[in-house]
Amino acid sequence: MEKRKSTRFDVSQEMKGKLLNVVSFVANNISSEGINLVSNFQPVIGSTYKIYLMHSRDNIQQDFEIEINRAEVAVFDSKKYASLPPGLLFSIGARFKNMSDKQREILASFIRRKAPGHDEGFISKDKVQAGS
């Protein structure tokens, strides 16, 4: 198992999103280098996807490119994942790729404490790069 290089932080509130503009996800934790998602979608390890995160507070949307480095079956927790549709869940680990200063700034705002509300996003397979 690969050791994480950066400290992981619990998200300050529930973060939801979409994979492929259709399949929902919930973010478990986030760091400056990666994110852990839970979803009904099983991505291909090594593939690159685009994820969009949106602040409900500021109504700001920012895209991030991620590379999947882990996808395994997740244990269902009805309190955490009630917003996901029924079915097999996957815990997905991904690294952020090619981040700009603006993306880093927005990512940092997800880590800081914020006012109550939901942050949402989705992942698109547009310009997917298959893993090697």
Q: How many domains does the chain have?
A: 1
Q: Can you give the CATH number for the domain in which 42 is found? A: 2.40.10.220
Classify residue 31: in a domain, yes or no: yes
Over residues 104-124, the pLDDT tens digits come to 888 887 776 544 444 555 556
Helix (H, G, I), strand (E, B) or coil at 127: strand
Q: Is residue 7 part of a domain?
A: no
pTM of the entire structure?
0.70
Domain containing 94 equals 13-126
Q: Does residue 35 sit within a domain?
A: yes
Residue 44 in domain: yes
Q: What is the pLDDT of residues 22-63, one digit of tens each?
A: 667 888 888 889 999 888 888 999 999 888 887 666 677 788
C-alpha dist (Å) from residue 15 to 11, 47, 85, 116, 129: 7, 23, 15, 11, 25
What is the C-alpha separation between 12 and 108, in angstroms, rounded? 11
